[in-house]
Amino acid sequence: MRRPTQHPARHLSRGSALLAALLTLAATPAAAAATPTALYGKGDPAQDGVWRQSLTLTALATGQVTPADSAVDWLTGQQCADGGWTAYRADPGAPCEPKAEDSNATAAALQALAKLGGHQEAVAKGTDWLKSVQRPDGSWARTPGLPGDATSTALAINALLATGLDPATTTASGGRSAYDGLAGFQLGCAAPADQRGAFTQSTATAASTPATPAIPATQATAQAALAAAGGRLPVTNTNRVDAAPKPLACPTATDPAVPHADSGESAAAWLNTQLAANGQHLVHSAADPTPDYAATAWAVLALIQSGHPHQAASAADWLGGNSYSWYAKGPAGTDVANTALVLLTAEASRLDPYNFGGTNVLQLLIDAGPKPKSVPGSAASALAENPDGTGAPGSGITEADDNGGFSPIWLIGIGLVVGIGGGLLLSLNRRRKSATPPPPTDSDSTPPQ
């Protein structure tokens, strides 16, 4: 007997159900590897675990927060037997691969432990390792065997200063000091006038002439400027010079290394010029003129360390008004490395960490990791007054008209105005032009790979 032909709609229904199931399966993200509970942040720690934990602990300690013992133990537990740190060790009990040890992670960890205090043995081992991998020209590479670079050299100098060592007398086998190594990346009087004082990332590109100009590295310049000015994290300098930073004096276009006495000031002058040219923030490059939030934060720190807080103030205000999406809305939620850098910038700028552009940055960072042992009374009061962390009193940020930025509270206010009546909003829009919030990005404050 012939079987009845099934209705085509039945096949379509089954096919649709199968297709829907497959699409649902494909759309379901694979479960991410669980991050250690003592580690701040939820993103994959493979590339930045030690870096972000170190910046976070430094920033929290600067904000008078006593972190959980587990958070500090996690960082010290990541240290290798020879004193260095890798970017991250999933199994801290396994031996470290020497070529994987990371000078950037080590420098950040040393600054955190120095700020926390009470970790003399770990700090001594770490500085011994750092000195052991200094290159003959005085510089540092991120990992042993690579060429030296400006960022790694600057971070190493930060760590030496934080642990009480003098970079001028920290010399490599060739007799070159840490400051000599840093000078090898700075553009001097032979470079075009608009490049003088800036740094390149590698010595291969440090030579610059009008015929063959090098390309200054914006973030490397900001980090190197902090180191050249004798700075480390956290920046606590209160000395100030009322005048703007002075560019290099170049009576002749010769190419000796920039003297250390002029290095930090000339780098600060270059940064100040770039900030003024770009609306009080730095950009990634002329070809990519999008805001470089991390470089801007490092520039603020460098200018303050150089004695120029007045020149740093507008850039700090710009960060407060524009950087929220960058640090608070990363792919895995709060980007703790970026948030810590913003908090360090707010603290150095004497701005309110409980209301930085409308955000309680300190609380945001606290919430991204294990519960701290203690918080200052001011932090508890700010949280009690506004559990959402967007309305603590005493903001040091200027008005949006002054810095082009808009806090989350201001944006909420616009939404309320729209609900009440569009006419007033249209009137406001004729007087103010809103900056488009930056899209979420990966951590820019992570050292270069």
User: Which residues fall within 8 angstroms of residue 387, CB to CB, at 6 or more apart?
Assistant: none
- Residue 92, exposed/middle/buried by CB under 10 A (0-12, 13-18, 19+)? middle
Which pLDDT tens digits describe the chain residue by residue (449 residues)? 433 444 444 443 444 444 444 444 344 444 445 789 999 999 999 999 999 999 999 999 999 999 999 999 999 999 999 999 999 999 999 999 999 999 999 999 999 999 999 999 999 999 999 999 999 999 999 999 999 999 999 999 999 999 999 999 999 988 999 999 999 999 999 899 999 999 999 977 777 666 677 889 999 999 999 999 999 999 999 888 878 999 999 987 676 789 999 999 999 999 999 999 999 999 998 889 999 999 999 999 999 999 999 999 999 999 999 999 999 988 888 999 999 999 999 999 999 999 999 999 999 999 999 999 999 999 889 888 888 763 332 333 333 333 333 333 333 333 433 343 444 333 333 333 222 333 333 445 556 44
C-alpha dihedral sign at 435, 439, 445, 449? negative
Spell out the residues 6+ positions from residue 279 whose beta carbon is closer than 8 angstroms to its own: 318, 404
Single pTM value for the model: 0.81
Q: Could you tell me the maximum CA-CA distance found in the chain, to the nearest angstrom? A: 106
Q: How far apart are CA 259 and CA 37, in angstroms?
A: 47
Q: What distances in angstroms separate CA 89 from CA 250, 372, 407, one per listed residue?
A: 48, 23, 38
Q: Is residue 288 packed enough to be buried (19+ CB in 10 Å), middle (13-18) or exposed (0-12)?
A: exposed
Amino acid (1-letter code) at residue 316 = A
From the centroid of its chain, how far is CA 311? 20
Please name every residue paired with 356 in a beta bridge, in sequence order, or none if there are none: 359
Q: How far apart are CA 291 and CA 284, in angstroms?
A: 6
Q: How is residue 278 written in tokens?
A: 């770009």
User: What CATH number does domain 39-431 carry, 1.20.140.10, 3.10.20.30, 1.10.3720.10, 1.50.10.20?
Assistant: 1.50.10.20
Contact 369, 36 (CB under 8 A): no
